[in-house]
Structure 1
Amino acid sequence: MSDPVLALALIALLGIAAQWLAWRTQTPAIVFLLLAGFLVGPATGLIAPDETFGVFLKPMISIAVAIILFEGGLTLNFAEIRETSAAVRRMIIIGAPLTWGLGFLAAHNLAGLSVETSAVISGIMVVTGPTVIMPLLRTARLPRRPASLLRWEAIIVDPIGAIFAVIAYEGAVSLAQGDGLLEIAMRLGGAIVIGTIIALATSRLIAAAFVRGLVPEFLKAPLILAAVVIAFGATNIVLEEAGLLTVTIMGIAFANSRLASLEELRRFKETITIVLVSGLFIVLTASITLGDIMQIGVRDLLFLGALLLVIRPLVVLSTTLGSKLTWKERILCAWIAPRGIVAVAVSGLFAASLVEHGVEDAGRMVPLAFLIVMVTVVLHGFTIRPFSNWLGITRAEPPGLLIVGGSPWSTALARKAAEMQMPVLIADANWNHLSPARRDGIPIYYGEILSEAAEHRLDMAQYGALIAATDNDAYNALVCTDLGPEVGRSQVFQLGRTRVQDGDGHADIERAERHQLHFTVGGRTLFRDGMSYTQLQRMLAEGWVFSRTRLSEEFGYDDFLASRDPETKVLFILKTNGRLAFSTTAERVNAGPDDVVVSFGPPVKDVVERAEENHSHKPVDTPHGK
């Protein structure tokens, strides 16, 4: 395909299709992107990027990689690192440099790569991609400790690995030019100093302009995107490819700047990054020829084996020694380390530049990077769950509850779930809505639950059910639709739709139809009579409370219903097997002995006496969920 416009259109179509398939199947997107690139490249020859885009190919890849690395830097918030476990910090501070050093020895001695190429490829392979590890963690449903370590390692090491790769590249170029140790040190020091100065100056200047109101809201995200490209190009003029270091540090600086508009920036960059990552990966895959694939030999496989079976276990087991992780959890983390799109993107960019500087074997980096990415994604993706089952690593706690929408009713429900030792979290993008939960010490997530940032920071695998409980019916349906594949379509619920009232307090159906959206998707409606947000908040204000009652052989579910006010609403039942069964408009729940019923209703008065009079036995209201 010689027409660049048609080629870009096809790449965009395949990229978005791959991302959609990944979302539908809860599979890492890199798998479908790899298949798409191979299909239009080596398999059919439909797209030959070198011929189609010509001299514009390298600048396109450079800018795309720069924006991707800036996005990676935006995830590195130092305050969040301090909140992580000591094992995570040791994995980053000690483990990442150790992985780089051992990887260099393996690449040079086992794969037979030159010193220059070994330094760069080993720096790149430090990165474990967050876009790859997150879907794996969701399907494996690991315990909290190993899941947290793997997730935070992927997030934090993403920009750090990019910095390693840039430093290695600058050193490799100096070696290729025959520079001495002094020149190499000056080049590396110059890359770090120049990149840091330009990055900090640009981020401080933009932050000051934002704070003083010199930039309107609609221009903030485009201005930062333009600043990334400008800073990248300006640094490259001074020192070749040091612009990648600049934009990575820029992302880190913005992530720690506490800008009020940072959340909007993250949403904007998510859109841009998804498009760029999808397109770039397809282009790089299509650039590989069958000859490149045939060049993969035994020495490359030895390097791959060393990464998986020697270096990774050695680094993880040594850095997590003495941590709270059990030995089984440490072994699992020592096995799981899938590489992602950043590894391929950076290797593709640096390979071409090193070849131009006379490093002949640098061309091996791209097929080797693809080999490592493909094998680790497939191997770890198919083995993480069976391996964790074989080790006997399962979640001990009951399924958690994720509540989207902060309110007094949500806080009361979360408080009751916490009393039952259930993992619970309230998410909301409005800080004031979370105030009651924060005062009660309930875990919260402040931000957009549908954003990529939430996907990276939240361990969705620990939540067995989701309740969308905001005052916006359309948003509730959107949350249930979007998060349904992750939590489970049968375990996403939303409050009943709000009815519009006329002047007499009666439901105005005509106005309701005008002002509400109609949904064919969304979650199941909570409660048998579909209580709305407004109704629930009013009932709570009138004194309604949540209660939990453990049933027994003597006191069954029918006895429980008879002992309560007829208006009492059963919300869910915690079954003896740990499953949560919710009461909805379409399903009436049932319960057996030892099940725990969680209900919402008027305060229970003289329940014990009524139960004794009517049934000659009494309910067991368990104060601690026992």
Structure 2
Amino acid sequence: MEPSFHSIEWVFLGILVSIFLYALLTNAISKTILTLPIIFMVVGHVSSHPLGMLAEPEVLDVGKRLLAEVTLILVLFSDASRVQFKSLRMNFAVPLRMLIVGLPLTIGLGMIVALLLNPGAGFAMALLTAAVLTPTDAALGQTVLSSEDVPENLRQTINVESGLNDGLVLPFVLFGAILAATGIEGAQSHGLAFAATTQVVLGPLIGIALGWGFAKAMDVARSRGLMAEASGGVAFLTIAFSAYVTSELLGGNGFLAAFVAGMVFGNTYKHDIHFIGEFMEGVGQLLTMLAFLIFGALLLPLGLKHMTWNAVALAISFLTIVRMLPIWLSLTGSGLAAREKLFLGWFGPRGLASILFTLIMMDEFDFPGEEELLACVCMTVFLSIILHGISAAPLSKWIGSASQTPSKPIGESND
């Protein structure tokens, strides 16, 4: 029986109450094994039936796509804007190792595992699967990032890596989707390959131009007293979405443009960019809540419907060996203790980026094995939400107490 209008109203009221209670009890919740993703995934799953009956599947797909795009644009821009090139050169040797060495190794090992578990899927789907499951999510690691038990250098490393890897993995995701789509009979592979190359080249160029231009314009306005500091949040929205829309209009990839624009803006703008962090703590957190709620309500049931033992094995592999071995190898010779390498390897939770990439690629391209990909992503994110959520607090205390023992200096191997 379809839910009545009043029952749907009760569901929405329950969701609003859940959001309010989370805001009310944020500090108390942070001391438990519960996390924002766990709570809103459960809320979404509980309300999955009435929410799924709100509209036709096509209308719901449009809504999911819109939420995914808006959230991903803001996350890519804001994360990239907080990475300063000067600090990156001086202090970020460890996250750079993880990004430059660990990320490609993760994608490569992930492709091998995906092919071994499902050889019939082919190279392209293995690449796409590995790419969408490689980026990590700071939202799932918030307990670690805010814990005073975790040494500052480890928190900074996790924050920088999760902030940059979703943008860096975008070309791999795009090419994987393009190659998978060309595998369909009748697909125009030459046209798709040319379009992909154009997107990867034009997107960053447009991001550089707009990020630099907007930063210079805001500098002039602030220096002459023309711009109020409080309007920074509005400017942030304008820049992020302008980069995306302009790139899409000119044939580039809008997400790459938003990511690069954020990085250029953050390193060009001479005034404080705290307004971006303040905005994302409010509106950004609400979008994150809605994204995990939609995941629990509309994606997880669909993923579970197509679940196989191969998908479960792939999810476990990506959360353990596929993530942890490349990170360990990338940190060889870094001077970090074995426990710190294991800690950084384990806290590579999968969440928002994997969900959003999968939604957008499935909507943008037609490729075989979409149901299997969705099942793999859903199981990986589901297990990550649970396992990383419940292990964050105890492992943070463990690494804090273990780190009281002095480590060797950076550059002296602890292997």
Per the TM superposition, whether the score is higher than 0.5 is yes
Q: Go from structure 1 to structure 2 and tell me whether the alpha carbon gap of 1:129 and 1:288 turns closer, same or farther (over 3 Å shift).
A: closer
Residue of structure 1 in register with 2:410 after alignment: none
- Give the conservation status (yes or no) of the 8 Å contact 1:103–1:122: yes
Alignment deviations for residues 385-444 of structure 1 (CA, whole Å, 9 cap, x no partner): 66688899624279xxxxxxxxxxxxxxxxxxxxxxxxxxxxxxxxxxxxxxxxxxxxxx
CA distance in 1, matches of 2:350, 2:312: 16
Residue of structure 2 in register with 1:225 after alignment: 237
Residue of structure 2 in register with 1:200 after alignment: 208
Residue of structure 2 in register with 1:527 after alignment: none
Alignment deviations for residues 242-278 of structure 1 (CA, whole Å, 9 cap, x no partner): 2112112122222212331522233224322112222
Q: Go from structure 1 to structure 2 and tell me whether the alpha carbon gap of 1:55 and 1:289 turns closer, same or farther (over 3 Å shift).
A: closer
Q: Go from structure 1 to structure 2 and tell me whether the alpha carbon gap of 1:219 and 1:170 turns closer, same or farther (over 3 Å shift).
A: farther
Residue 340, structure 1, aligned to residue 348, structure 2: no
Q: Go from structure 1 to structure 2 and tell me whether the alpha carbon gap of 1:22 and 1:361 turns closer, same or farther (over 3 Å shift).
A: farther
TM-score, scaled relative to structure 2: 0.80
Q: Go from structure 1 to structure 2 and tell me whether the alpha carbon gap of 1:381 and 1:280 turns closer, same or farther (over 3 Å shift).
A: closer
Shift of 1:360: 3.3
- Give the conservation status (yes or no) of the 8 Å contact 2:216–2:268: no
Report matched runs for 1:565-604 at 5 Å: none
Report matched runs for 1:281-296 at 5 Å: 281-288=292-299, 290=301, 292-296=303-307
Residue 259, structure 1, aligned to residue 282, structure 2: no
Alignment deviations for residues 111-136 of structure 1 (CA, whole Å, 9 cap, x no partner): 45454443233212221211222303
* Alignment counterpart, residue 388 of structure 2, candidates 380, 386, 404: 380
Alignment deviations for residues 563-605 of structure 1 (CA, whole Å, 9 cap, x no partner): xxxxxxxxxxxxxxxxxxxxxxxxxxxxxxxxxxxxxxxxxxx
Residue of structure 2 in register with 1:297 after alignment: 308
CA distance in 2, matches of 1:370, 1:103: 16
Residue of structure 2 in register with 1:45 after alignment: 50
* Alignment counterpart, residue 317 of structure 2, candidates 282, 286, 306: 306
CA RMSD of aligned residues (A): 3.4
Matched to 2:221, the amino acid is: G
Residue of structure 2 in register with 1:407 after alignment: none
Report matched runs for 1:173-192 at 5 Å: 173-174=181-182, 176=184, 178-180=187-189, 186-192=194-200
* Alignment counterpart, residue 25 of structure 1, candidates 1, 24, 29: 29
Residue of structure 2 in register with 1:248 after alignment: 259
Deviates more, 1:149-158 or 1:29-38: 149-158
Matched to 1:270, the amino acid is: E
For structure 2, the 5+ residue unaligned runs are: 407-415
- Give the conservation status (yes or no) of the 8 Å contact 1:196–1:249: yes
Matched to 2:238, the amino acid is: A
Residue of structure 2 in register with 1:236 after alignment: 248
What SS class does the counterpart of residue 135 from structure 2 fall into?
coil
Shift of 1:91: 1.0
Residue of structure 1 in register with 2:71 after alignment: 64
Residue 331, structure 1, aligned to residue 335, structure 2: no
Q: Go from structure 1 to structure 2 and tell me whether the alpha carbon gap of 1:210 and 1:46 turns closer, same or farther (over 3 Å shift).
A: closer
Alignment deviations for residues 308-365 of structure 1 (CA, whole Å, 9 cap, x no partner): 33222320221111121122332333333222222222222222333xx2x1322333
Q: Go from structure 1 to structure 2 and tell me whether the alpha carbon gap of 1:160 and 1:289 turns closer, same or farther (over 3 Å shift).
A: closer
Query: Number of residues paired by the alignment?
Result: 390
Q: Go from structure 1 to structure 2 and tell me whether the alpha carbon gap of 1:115 and 1:329 turns closer, same or farther (over 3 Å shift).
A: same
Per chain length, whose mean CA-contact separation is higher, i.e. which structure has more relative contact order (CA < 8 Å, sep 6+)?
A: 2
Instruction: Flag the structure with higher helix content.
Output: 2
CA distance in 1, matches of 2:146, 2:280: 24
CA distance in 1, matches of 2:183, 2:264: 31
Shift of 1:191: 1.0
- Give the conservation status (yes or no) of the 8 Å contact 1:100–1:122: yes
TM-score, scaled relative to structure 1: 0.55
Report matched runs for 1:135-534 at 5 Å: 135-136=143-144, 138=146, 141-143=149-151, 146-174=154-182, 176=184, 178-180=187-189, 186-213=194-221, 216-217=227-228, 218-239=230-251, 242-288=253-299, 290=301, 292-354=303-365, 357=366, 359-383=367-391, 394-396=402-404
Shift of 1:109: 3.1
Identity of aligned residues (%): 18
Q: Go from structure 1 to structure 2 and tell me whether the alpha carbon gap of 1:287 and 1:258 turns closer, same or farther (over 3 Å shift).
A: same
- Give the conservation status (yes or no) of the 8 Å contact 1:67–1:273: yes
Q: Go from structure 1 to structure 2 and tell me whether the alpha carbon gap of 1:391 and 1:75 turns closer, same or farther (over 3 Å shift).
A: closer
Shift of 1:46: 3.9
- Give the conservation status (yes or no) of the 8 Å contact 2:83–2:160: no
Q: Go from structure 1 to structure 2 and tell me whether the alpha carbon gap of 1:137 and 1:37 turns closer, same or farther (over 3 Å shift).
A: same
Q: Go from structure 1 to structure 2 and tell me whether the alpha carbon gap of 1:300 and 1:56 turns closer, same or farther (over 3 Å shift).
A: closer
CA distance in 2, matches of 1:391, 1:222: 40
CA distance in 2, matches of 1:67, 1:389: 32
What SS class does the counterpart of residue 62 from structure 1 fall into?
helix
CA distance in 2, matches of 1:284, 1:221: 27
Matched to 1:286, the amino acid is: A
Instruction: Flag the structure with higher strand content.
Output: 1
CA distance in 2, matches of 1:237, 1:49: 32
Residue 92, structure 1, aligned to residue 94, structure 2: no
- Give the conservation status (yes or no) of the 8 Å contact 2:149–2:400: no
Q: Go from structure 1 to structure 2 and tell me whether the alpha carbon gap of 1:8 and 1:317 turns closer, same or farther (over 3 Å shift).
A: same
CA distance in 2, matches of 1:131, 1:154: 9
Q: Go from structure 1 to structure 2 and tell me whether the alpha carbon gap of 1:243 and 1:85 turns closer, same or farther (over 3 Å shift).
A: closer
- Give the conservation status (yes or no) of the 8 Å contact 1:12–1:279: no
Q: Go from structure 1 to structure 2 and tell me whether the alpha carbon gap of 1:20 and 1:110 turns closer, same or farther (over 3 Å shift).
A: farther
For structure 1, the 5+ residue unaligned runs are: 399-626
